[in-house]
Amino acid sequence: MKVWLDGKLVNKEEAKISVWDHGLLYGDGLFEGMRIYSGKVFKLEEHMERLYQGAHVLNLEIPYSREALAAIVLETVAANDRRDGYIRLLVTRGAGTLGIDPAKCPKASVVVIVDGIQLYPEELYTAGIPIVTAATRRLPGDVFDPRVKSLNYLTNIMAKMEATRAGCPEAVMLTREGYIAECTADNIFIYSKGVLKTPAAHLGILEGITRATIMELAADAGIPVEEGVYNRTDLYLAEEVFLTGSGAEIIPVTEIDGRKIGEGTAGPVSGKLRKLFQDLIK
């Protein structure tokens, strides 16, 4: 396996960063998770756009132009001869001092990792998954804007541990007011009374690339889509619930907090949107 690390491709065993890197010390940095399908990177431009927007918010200067970094991603994919898989692109503040002052970090560090991925077994895409509500709340947007896909995922990790203890692969996180935000690694959708619903961005969610794609596909297919404010009752009474993400793609949810969703099986709307998504990939 070859990893791009600060200007060159190195073997996996040689891919090392400094222990003074502010990404390691303070979570000071950004990342993108991207999928490779048939040797091509899905929505590469959209991922670059989000990365550079986040870097602007953090006042973090990426030492490559957007076009150059996109070319680096493609070079790393080719070097690993990956037809299908996953890309983790990281930009950290770089090595500095043990103090938090980012001005002491003279240059950002860039890492591109290309590997395989399988978040869920194939049978779960038809059988669906159970999820639970996490006690750990989503970090509110007035504290830190989740549109910045930072390296600090501690609240997500805490919620993920809750899911694991409950025997579930995912957990839905709520805002501090108790409204649905998103899951630990995925966005969430509700289908009810002919309308596809998803939490609004102002509730403190990451505006996922796959989320936006599904909203576009649904609208094109004549399915009304709305962004709004929803609570757990909306989940429990939904006809269908499903999750979206670069890794998960589209996976149906058939149980939440011990309550069956709809008929307790993958529903026709999530199935239709998954097919449309797969057609788009092809």
- Which domains can be identified in the chain, with CATH numbers? 2-115 (3.30.470.10), 124-281 (3.20.10.10)
CA–CA distances in Å: residue 85 to residues 45, 51, 168, 211: 18, 20, 24, 19
Share of the chain above pLDDT 90, in %: 92
Share of the chain above pLDDT 70, in %: 100
Yes or no: say if 3 and 111 are a contact pair by the CB < 8 Å rule: yes
Across the chain, mean pLDDT equals 96
pLDDT at 59 over 80: yes
DSSP 8-state assignment for residue 252: E
Cα torsion through 91, 93, 96, 101, rounded to 10: -170
Between the two ends of the chain, the Cα-to-Cα distance in Å is: 26
Structure tokens at 56: 């602007």
Is 282 known to be catalytic? no
d(CA 147, CA 182): 13
Across 63-69, average pLDDT:
97
- Determine if the pTM surpasses 0.85: yes
Catalytic one among 2, 149, 160, 197?
149
